[in-house]
Amino acid sequence: MRPARRVRTWISWWAITALVGGCSKAPDAAGQGAKPAPSFSAAVSAQGRSPIDLSLATGRDVYGHFCSVCHGDTGGGDGFNAYNVSEAFGVTPRSFADRAQMASFKDAEALMAIRDGGPAVGKSAAMPAWGRTLTPLEVADVLQYVRSLAASQDTNTDSASGQVAPATPGR
């Protein structure tokens, strides 16, 4: 399949999904619209999970879909596309497992790199901008998850449960 056709197919799929998702609000028995979604705090308490757990889970899912391609599943900079990035741009994707290197980045700089791409913070043009793809909350969740990858190299990992402590706020 040619690249242009793949893009058109993806856009068509996305448009249909958005259309179907938007039309799924069928009236209830009383003829009213669909009930509004429960609040965030209600959803959290219903699941018995903390907001930090949900943030890490969302960040892990988004990272797995968009970021692991280059940065790898464990953040080692060894994703299956890392070779192509290295060949095309002469740089390797950043390793998020390096605690010292990750500690040198402030949250604002990391958020800008995710949202606006590498050139926005003086880094490689190989890092694309995700600000038009991800919501601001998803960008923050990805950063939280990326910080947890570096923290997992520290003593913050509970080996019995495999749970990773959240990143230290205020970086």
Structural domains of the chain, count: 1
- The predicted pLDDT at position 59 comes to 94
Percentage, residues of the chain above pLDDT 90: 49
Does residue 22 form part of some domain? Answer: no
Residue that wins the pLDDT comparison between 171 and 112: 112
Q: Is residue 69 part of a domain?
A: yes
Which of 10-40 are b and which e, b meaning 16 or more Cβ less than 10 Å from the residue's Cβ? eeeeeeeeeeeeeeeeeeeeeeeeeeeeeee
Whether residue 30 is contained in a domain is answered as no
Is pLDDT larger for residue 161 or for residue 132?
132
Is 17 within the bounds of a domain?
no
CATH of the domain at 115: 1.10.760.10
Residue 113 in any domain: the answer is yes
User: What phi, psi does 60 have (nearest 5°)?
Assistant: -65, -45
Q: Specify the pLDDT at position 108.
A: 93
3 falls in which pLDDT band (50, 70, 90)?
low
The range of the structural domain enclosing residue 77 comes to 48-160
